[in-house]
Amino acid sequence: MIAKTSPEVGGMGHPIKRKEDSRFIQGKGNYVDDVRLPGMVYGHMVRSPYAHARLKSINTEKAKQLPGVLAIITGEDLAKANLAWMPTLFFDKQMVLATGKVLFQAQEVAFVVAEDQYTAADAAELVEVEYEELPVLVDPHKATDPDAPILRDDREEKSNHIFHWEVGDRAATDRDFQNAPVKATVHAISQRCHPAPLETCGCVADFNKATEKLTVYLTSQAPHAHRTLFALVGGIPEQNIRVLSPDIGGGFGNKVPIYPGYVCAVVASLTLGVPVKWIETRSENLQSTGFARDYHMTAEIAADKNGKVKALRVKTLADHGAFNAAAQPTKFPAGLFSVCTGSYDFENSFCEVDGVYTNKAPGGIAYRCSFRITEAAYLIERAIDVLAAELKMDPAEFRRKNFIQPDKFPYKTPLGWTYDSGNYEGALDKALEMVGYRELRKEQEEKRKKGELMGIGISSFTEAVGAGPAHTFDIAGIKMFDSAEIRVHPTGKAICRMGTKSQGQGHETTYAQIVAQELGIPASDVIIEEGDTDTAPYGLGTYASRSTPTSGAATAMAARKIRDKAKEIAAHLLECSEADLEWETGKFFVKGAPSKSKTIQEIAFAAYTNIPEGLEAGLEAVNYYDPPNLTFPFGAYICVVDIDKGTGEVKVRRFVAVDDCGNVINPMIVEGQIHGGLTEGLAIAFMQLIDYDENGNVQGGTLMDYLIPTAVETPHWETGSTCTPSPHHPFGAKGVGESPNVGSPAAFVNAVVDALSHLGVKHIDMPITPWKVWKVLKEKGVVS
Ligand code: CDP
């Protein structure tokens, strides 16, 4: 148990209001597009209308003549500086500006720089590009057909196949399947979607020719990593690069990769010697940056007659688009997809994934998920429901029978992960009780008799968050630790800087609460600063719910170093030995004489005014935390839906979400995270798809086609929690930000399929639109 501090101190567990919100609700946030520098000019991309075409010529003459146009950069110009291609985050390379061919619609072809953004956009229209259309490959299932067009001329291997990756014991799994009396199969697509953050991607590149310093204001979830990549790829000395990520309006993985617009803005600023701003439009964001998912999956489960699962076999085709730009640790070609055994105790398992190129935008980003875990959780939770239906067992009962039991932790999965702690039945029982499961099943039975369609869907997911540990996890070779630096000022106030970067998660509040918990300095006296590579300690950034497990841990460890030093100073002030001192939030006191004490504020003052001989002045510490393992949060979600037979519309009547992220820093912020993630899950389940026609034209490239849920579509979320601390995290916390996005899609889909199961429906692919449901109802003869 974590000792509770007073509300004035505001340590862990206090639902204190978010410090950052006072500036956001007053419109005083400072986003990249708010940055206005003297002499700043603007960049605009010329993009390809074709998905696959040879680039025959680019004529920039007319565009250059437009008054206000300063420069036009093409792939050929970049090639001279060896920058026409850049490395992706996953052992591939990607065109910055097209050279030779374009490989997806909206690919970057030229970069126009002008005095204002409207002139830049107008001039982009005047750039004349001649294309010769080539056959287009859209369907990943056809990527390796003998007659498929080969997309990547630049690669030695003349194939659209990128990788084959497998893990687990194939022979043992196959054997289990041969002998199994019960088997179930599900083919499920985790469709191509996009995080669509409120703020699109952008940057201001400011190269100062006098100091040779490049400052890049960047919508970056990983400022330090981006600085290093700019140095390595651009050849600029790293000390001369400062990446500044100001406020960010949502990242969700979209702001992890380096995009061509960033590189072009930097090149333009280096060339022109003035600041260059590039901010993408909404359509550019949806069409060309970081898509997510696009996993085409098959799961088979072998079980005995009593419904005890034995083996899981998974085969997946991953559509990576034109370049393999998946943003994930280098040892994991399919991310952490092998967490696909989920919360269940399988003896054997085998999982294989093949990646292919198609004429679509690259990305493969971890959209609010720890590198492909949403796909994995969706698949296993769907497969479990399909098997339960096959056995005519209640899906809650079936899950209970197959959960990994609490006494089995730490639990090694057949695919190699070691789960730190868990109590899946505890979370499910709580969710069942909150939703009133038995009554709902009765109601469903009654409704079925009357021909009404009502469904209940369960998802008992396991997440894996907090990459590192550094021995296994690196991105582009940089090990995945993270950091915190705390400085306590003479008056007992403090500033802390981290290697992570909030994009709306409330870090300015929660990290301050960790310091308050550990040192007793009130959270309101602690300033948190992230996103400036000139001042913050090096870190890998914020994505995959890693901030609490890594920088959160580093904050506690740095605070503990400070407390050790504070003890030395307290002993000096109280004229006793350190061994005689005891700590109580915010002060050291002499054992047995509590009135003889020194507060952390008094100690801080002494650290600068009355230092014991031989001790360094000051009170500060830095910690680079390399977690020994991931943390494995989990949850049980239950969704209740009613389906309108006339329109096929699915109404989410109830949604209960019980989450377990170990010890909670700020329950109000956690609840906010859950609400946001569930709303995204709802959108993915029912509304969102980045689709392509047979010519590779993007069908979901505007917010008219790519729907964002509003308050009208969003149901009331009922949240609850259980607490199973992580045994290896310094204060027993696990990450939580992405859990709702990971766990909820399966609950929504399971509910819809449950509503239609008596009609023989076993699966419907997302997004489950009214049209799709209506077609099923028509096919089943429910409507004429
Ligand atoms: O890396 P990211 O910030 O996206 O994810 P996270 O570590 O799961 O944290 C999301 C937000 O929830 C942060 O403000 C955390 O401090 C907070 N949180 C919490 O209050 N208690 C936890 N056990 C986990 C996260």
- Which of 585, 601, 625 is at the close of a domain? 625
Residue 371 domain-assigned? yes
Q: Is the CB of 662 under 6 A from ligand 1?
A: yes
CATH number at residue 699: 3.30.365.10
268 plus 331 within the same structural domain: no
593 plus 609 within the same structural domain: yes
Q: Cα of 565 to ligand 1 centre, how many Å?
A: 28
Helices then strands, counting H and E runs in the chain, come out as 18, 32
- Which of 268, 288, 308 is at the close of a domain? 288
Q: Is the CB of 366 under 6 A from ligand 1?
A: no
Q: Is the CB of 503 under 6 A from ligand 1?
A: no
Residue 674 has pLDDT above 90, yes or no: yes
Q: Cα of 669 to ligand 1 centre, how many Å?
A: 8
- Whether 239 sits among the annotated catalytic residues: the reply is no
Query: Which residue among 193, 203, 369, 661 is the active-site one?
Result: 369
Q: Is the CB of 661 under 6 A from ligand 1?
A: yes
pLDDT value of residue 707: 95
Dist. CA 723–CA 406, nearest whole Å: 13
Residue 293 has pLDDT above 90, yes or no: yes
109 plus 237 within the same structural domain: yes
Q: What's the pTM?
A: 0.97
396 plus 493 within the same structural domain: no
pLDDT value of residue 700: 84
CATH number at residue 224: 3.90.1170.50
Retrieve residue 311's tokens: 């083996």
Residue 145 domain-assigned? no
597 plus 562 within the same structural domain: yes
363 plus 487 within the same structural domain: no
Q: Which residue, judged by its Cα, is nearest atom 23 of ligand 1?
A: 664
Number of domains in the chain: 3
Residue 177 domain-assigned? no
pLDDT value of residue 327: 87
Q: Cα of 749 to ligand 1 centre, how many Å?
A: 27
Q: pLDDT (tens digit, 9 = 90+) per residue, 417-469?
A: 999 999 999 999 999 999 999 999 999 999 999 999 999 999 999 999 999 99
pLDDT value of residue 784: 85
Task: Please calculate the CA angle 618-621-623 and round it to the nearest 5 degrees.
Answer: 170
**Which of 372-381, 468-477, 532-541 is least confident?**
468-477
Classify residue 2 by its DSSP letter: P
- Whether 264 sits among the annotated catalytic residues: the reply is no
- Whether 390 sits among the annotated catalytic residues: the reply is no
Atom of ligand 1 nearest to the CA of 665: 20
Q: Is the CB of 360 under 6 A from ligand 1?
A: no
State the residue range of the domain holding 606: 21-28+482-625
Q: pLDDT (tens digit, 9 = 90+) per residue, 28-72?
A: 999 999 999 999 999 999 999 999 999 999 999 999 999 999 999
Question: What is the residue-wise DSSP string for 389-445?
Answer: HHTT--HHHHHHHHBPPGGG-SEE-TTS-EE----HHHHHHHHHHHHTHHHHHHHHH
Pairing assessment for the beta strands 276-279 and 53-59 based on DSSP bridges: unpaired
Question: What is the residue-wise DSSP string for 465-526?
Answer: B----TTT-EETTEE--EEEEEEE-TTS-EEEEES---SSS-HHHHHHHHHHHHH---GGGE
Q: pLDDT (tens digit, 9 = 90+) per residue, 65-123?
A: 999 999 999 999 999 999 999 999 889 999 999 999 999 999 999 999 999 999 999 99
Specify the amino acid at residue 765: D
Atom of ligand 1 nearest to the CA of 507: 14
Residue 60 domain-assigned? yes
Q: Tell me if 718 sits within 8 A of 353, measured CB to CB.
A: no
Dist. CA 341–CA 156, nearest whole Å: 36
- Whether 505 sits among the annotated catalytic residues: the reply is no
Q: Cα of 701 to ligand 1 centre, how many Å?
A: 31
pLDDT value of residue 750: 98
pLDDT value of residue 550: 97
Residue 71 domain-assigned? yes
Q: What percent of the chain has pLDDT over 90?
A: 97
Q: Cα of 767 to ligand 1 centre, how many Å?
A: 28
Q: Is the CB of 225 under 6 A from ligand 1?
A: no
Instruction: Single out the residue of 723, 720, 719, 743 nearest to residue 731, CA to CA.
Output: 723
Instruction: Single out the residue of 132, 134, 130, 133 nearest to residue 57, CA to CA.
Output: 130
Q: Is the CB of 733 under 6 A from ligand 1?
A: yes
651 plus 620 within the same structural domain: no
- 223-234 helix and 260-272 helix, angle to the nearest 10 degrees: 60
Atom of ligand 1 nearest to the CA of 500: 1
Residue 1 has pLDDT above 80, yes or no: no
Q: pLDDT (tens digit, 9 = 90+) per residue, 309-367?
A: 999 999 999 999 999 999 889 999 999 999 999 999 999 999 999 999 999 999 899 99
Q: Is the CB of 666 under 6 A from ligand 1?
A: yes
Dist. CA 27–CA 13, nearest whole Å: 29
223 plus 360 within the same structural domain: no
641 plus 715 within the same structural domain: yes
Dist. CA 696–CA 692, nearest whole Å: 5
Q: Is the CB of 467 under 6 A from ligand 1?
A: no
Q: pLDDT (tens digit, 9 = 90+) per residue, 476-513?
A: 899 999 999 999 999 999 999 999 999 999 999 999 99
543 plus 459 within the same structural domain: no
Q: How far is CA 546 from CA 152, 258, 482, in A?
A: 34, 20, 9
**Bridge partners of 639?**
457, 655
Dist. CA 531–CA 217, nearest whole Å: 10
Looking at every residue in the chain, the average pLDDT score rounds to 97
Length of the chain equals 784
Q: Is the CB of 507 under 6 A from ligand 1?
A: yes
609 plus 651 within the same structural domain: no
Q: Tell me if 151 sits within 8 A of 160, measured CB to CB.
A: yes
Query: Which residue among 94, 221, 328, 673 is the active-site one?
Result: 221
619 plus 637 within the same structural domain: no
Q: Which residue, judged by its Cα, is nearest atom 2 of ligand 1?
A: 545
Atom of ligand 1 nearest to the CA of 546: 1
- 739-756 helix and 373-390 helix, angle to the nearest 10 degrees: 30
